[in-house]
């Protein structure tokens, strides 16, 4: 109870950033007319994954107060001076995974102009949801055990949360992954812009690049995933290598890259991750089917024929039923079998049931 009513921990504001950034109206309107808020809410920040990193570790371009205009902002490969990687003893940095990302098809710099500006930067995907301190309190018996040596209950609680959060599965579920990839890949304007640029530059794009999302949504994998089924393949199951999920989702490559799991030479192995008996013939099955004429004439015409045949059959059968009804009604058929007969109506053909 006492824990609930105590104020949220404020982070260490050694550099005095909150002198200005605590104010709600701290912000500006950009040249594009977008409102940007620069307010920092200490209680909120103290609940994020970066709560132990001092501001100037990331905002390392701030050398004086008040600071000069910020040109680039935070880069995610900067080193945190105050946090050391306990495994290597080096200053902590996201640089290894950052470099992996940079080498992938999505790789870009913090500030990009032109086509690369459409690519996702780290924070496009890593939205860093606020860590709720009440989300998972360590069980008392675990803390009791740890404090036997580590003495400090607060320290133990903090480390428990740090470790347990990383052990817990925090990756997005399949529908969220599809939604995330779709946020760019189903953006028609963005996709069209890239298709045009590639054509102009003579660059090759993946065969399914322009219809990646709509065709996945049309596939069986896509349909069941959108209903919340988690065992069907989502984007990353095929487009990221299997061996280290967390590393490889940053290393998405186009299908023409021999490193890509969907490269012609790797497709069978990729399919085998789920379909263990897959062979070359199997790997030829289209995981991105489209019924549009320009993408798959075979499927388009087959679909068209099926639709027409279905419609014609139904119309003919219903017409036949109506025709039959008219004919039988004319001869005196009633709808209900009444007193032993359904022929109690007068026949226009002059032959009635004898009452």
Partner 1 sequence: MKLSTEAQSVLEKSMSINKLDDKEREDIEQLIDNMPDDRVLLYKNVVSNPIGDLSRYSIHIRIQHMLLFVTFLTLAFTGLPIAFIDHVWAQPLNDMVGGIGISRIIHRTLASIMIFSMVYHIVYLFWIFIRDITLRQFEIQRSIIPTMKDVRDFKADMLYFAGTRDQRPEMDKFMYKQKIHYYAAAFGNLVMVISGSSFIFPEFWASILPEGAASYFQEMMRLSHPHEALLALLVIAFWHWYNVHLAPGRFPMQWTFLTGKITREHQIEEHFLEYLRNLVELPEERAYLSDLLDARELSPDTGNDTMQATRETT
Separation between Cα atoms, residue 92 and residue 82, nearest integer Å = 8
Query: Strand pairing partners for 84?
Result: 91
Helical H runs in 151-286? 153-167, 174-185, 188-201, 212-218, 220-226, 235-239, 245-248, 267-272, 280-283
Q: Find the binder of partner 1 among 203, 280, 293, 346 (CB under 8 A).
A: 280
Token code pair at residue 240: 């990221």
φ and ψ of 21, to 5 deg: -75, 0
CA-nearest of 234, 240, 209 to 221 is 234
**Nearest CB to partner 1, comparing residues 49 and 274:** 274
**Nearest CB to partner 1, comparing residues 222 and 261:** 222
Token code pair at residue 3: 């824990």
Question: Going residue by residue from 133 to 172, which x/- string records binding to partner 1, judged by CB under 8 A?
Answer: ----------------------------------------
223 sits near partner 1 (criterion: CB under 8 A): yes
**Nearest CB to partner 1, comparing residues 1 and 326:** 326
The stretch near partner 1 (CB under 8 A) out of 58-66, 185-193, 254-262, 277-285 is 277-285
Q: Find the binder of partner 1 among 163, 229, 256, 297 (CB under 8 A).
A: 229
Q: Find the binder of partner 1 among 44, 284, 297, 346 (CB under 8 A).
A: 284
CB count within 10 Å of CB 48 equals 14
The stretch near partner 1 (CB under 8 A) out of 49-57, 94-102, 149-157, 310-318 is 310-318
CB count within 10 Å of CB 310 equals 10
277 sits near partner 1 (criterion: CB under 8 A): yes
Which helix (H) or strand (E) segment is 125 a member of?
helix 122-125
Separation between Cα atoms, residue 84 and residue 91, nearest integer Å = 4
Considering CB under 8 A, how many residues would be counted as binding partner 1? 61
294 sits near partner 1 (criterion: CB under 8 A): no
Q: Which spans of this chain sit near partner 1 (rule: CB under 8 A)?
A: 217, 220, 223-224, 226-229, 275-282, 284-286, 289, 296, 298-299, 302-303, 306-307, 309-310, 313-314, 317-318, 320-321, 323-337, 340-343, 347, 349-354
């Amino acid at each position: 109870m006492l824990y609930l009513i105590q104020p949220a921990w404020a982070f260490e504001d050694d550099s005095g950033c909150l002198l200005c950034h605590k104010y709600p109206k701290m912000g500006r309107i950009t040249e594009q007319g977008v409102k940007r808020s620069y307010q920092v809410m200490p209680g909120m920040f103290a609940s994020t994954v970066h709560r132990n990193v001092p501001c100037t570790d990331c905002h390392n371009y701030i050398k004086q107060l008040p600071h000069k205009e910020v040109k680039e902002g935070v880069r995610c490969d900067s080193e945190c001076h105050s946090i050391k990687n306990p495994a290597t003893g080096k200053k902590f940095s996201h640089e290894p995974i950052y470099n992996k990302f940079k080498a992938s098809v999505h790789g870009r710099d913090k500030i990009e102009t032109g086509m690369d500006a459409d690519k996702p930067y780290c924070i496009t995907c890593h939205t860093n949801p606020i860590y709720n301190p009440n989300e998972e309190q360590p069980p008392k018996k675990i803390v009791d055990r740890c404090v036997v040596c580590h003495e400090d209950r607060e320290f133990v609680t903090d480390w428990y949360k740090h470790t347990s959060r990383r052990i817990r599965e925090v990756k997005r579920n399949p529908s969220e992954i599809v939604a995330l990839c779709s946020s760019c890949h189903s953006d028609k304007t963005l996709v069209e812009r890239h298709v045009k640029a590639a054509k102009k530059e003579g660059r090759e794009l993946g065969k399914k690049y322009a219809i990646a999302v709509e065709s996945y949504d049309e596939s069986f994998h896509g349909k069941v995933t959108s209903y919340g089924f988690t065992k069907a393949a989502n984007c990353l199951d095929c487009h990221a290598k299997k061996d280290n999920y967390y590393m490889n989702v940053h290393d998405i490559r186009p299908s023409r890259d021999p490193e890509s799991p969907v490269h012609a030479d790797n497709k069978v192995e990729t399919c085998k991750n789920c379909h263990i008996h897959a062979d070359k013939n199997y790997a030829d099955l289209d995981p991105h089917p489209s019924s549009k004429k320009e993408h798959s004439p075979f499927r388009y015409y087959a679909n068209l024929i099926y639709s027409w045949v279905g419609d014609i059959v139904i119309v003919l059968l219903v017409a036949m039923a109506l025709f039959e009804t008219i004919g039988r009604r004319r001869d005196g058929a009633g709808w209900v079998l009444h007193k032993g007969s359904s022929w109690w109506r007068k026949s226009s053909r002059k032959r009635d049931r004898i009452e």
